Amino acid sequence: MGNEPFVGNGLVTSTNHSGNQSVRPRLLDEVRNAIRCLHYSIRTEQSYIDWIKRYIYFHQKQHPENLDESHISAFLTHLAVDRKVASSTQNQALCAIVFLYREVIGKELGNFDNLVRAKRPQKLPVVFTQEEVRQILLQLEGIYWLMGQLLYGAGLRVMECVRLRVKDIDFGYRQVLVRDGKGHKDRVTMLPEIIVGELQRHLQKIKKVHETDLKAGFGAVYLPYALERKYKNANRSWAWQYAFPATRRSIDPRSGEERRHHISESVPQRAIRQAIRKSSIAKSGSCHSLRHSFATHLLEAGYDIRTVQELLGHKDVSTTMIYTHVLNRGGKGVQSPGDMLFGSRSDGTFPPFSSNA
């Protein structure tokens, strides 16, 4: 794949209609440049590049300019039928290919009427009870406890938590400013009172690490968009540092600079899974289940759904409405006909089953 002239790194010489040669970036370099001009995240960049490569491979390394909607439908149908990918995976592949044609090649696409779409499962969110959340958080220590409290107590997504910067934690107003969250939206949520003291002590510890990095000639952190050029030396300031930095410095894949990035999202994900297992909770939960529980427990406490919507950062209130499925009682709040017939008894005394049954 890397030997193909339109997908490798560097430049390629082409001849235009007038017979003149011009030098243009290779295809994947053009894709990277377009993604970075639109300020997409490094994760999106890596994902899009991977899907575009797979799309080209699927069609025997033909240049995408020579392919049309039927080729795209064939690839996406292959993912759904042969690879049996999830609907979200198929949609991600489609977004990458649409980006390639619209932003790089400059070609509008059709509606893909013949596309076989992967079936989107209708799943309800996994929600823990308050006691289950308490048991999970009791299994956590140190930064894992802090992050668990932010996932549940502030309703953060796991990437919002690991990307949190020092300046976005407002101890005075007891709030957290979530910058550039899902959908590139900012929002404000609460800072749980229970973690204030421990979080302040944690920040003092990592401030010393930052000062050590500065003395060693490092200490610069990644800044989004053009802020690094606009605000000189801001990338070395304490305010812009990550609240949960990695234990080691690493090479930035875009700039090639050695920096201390934020902690990997896999770290809290692994810690939460282990905590759920240690708590002997018979639910298949995750970090996101704590966010689901945050929303559900606020609604159970009587808070307005619009308020919860804003705290979660949902664009549409219908997304927030899914959490009403566990309010007060399961089964949409409907009383079981079995309870109506015999009366609700939860103490196990009725009916008197025979021990030989």
Q: Measure the CA–CA gap between 113 and 119, rounded to whole angstroms.
A: 16
Tell me, what DSSP letter sits at residue 338? H
From the list 59, 78, 182, 249, the catalytic residue is 182
From the list 157, 260, 262, 292, the catalytic residue is 157
Q: Active-site residue 288, yes or no? A: yes
Non-local (6+) Cβ contacts of 73 within 8 A are 112, 114, 115
Q: Active-site residue 182, yes or no? A: yes
Q: Which two tokens stand for residue 245?
A: 């930095």
Q: Which two tokens stand for residue 320?
A: 């927030």
Tell me, what DSSP letter sits at residue 242? B
Q: Measure the CA–CA gap between 247 and 266, rounded to whole angstroms.
A: 14
From the list 210, 259, 292, 314, the catalytic residue is 314
From the list 210, 259, 291, 292, the catalytic residue is 291
| 165, β-bridge pairs | 242
Q: Measure the CA–CA gap between 290 and 272, rounded to whole angstroms.
A: 9
Under DSSP, is residue 24 helix (H, G, I), strand (E, B) or coil?
Answer: strand
Tell me, what DSSP letter sits at residue 100? I
Q: Active-site residue 314, yes or no? A: yes
Write out the catalytic residue numbers: 157, 182, 288, 291, 314, 323
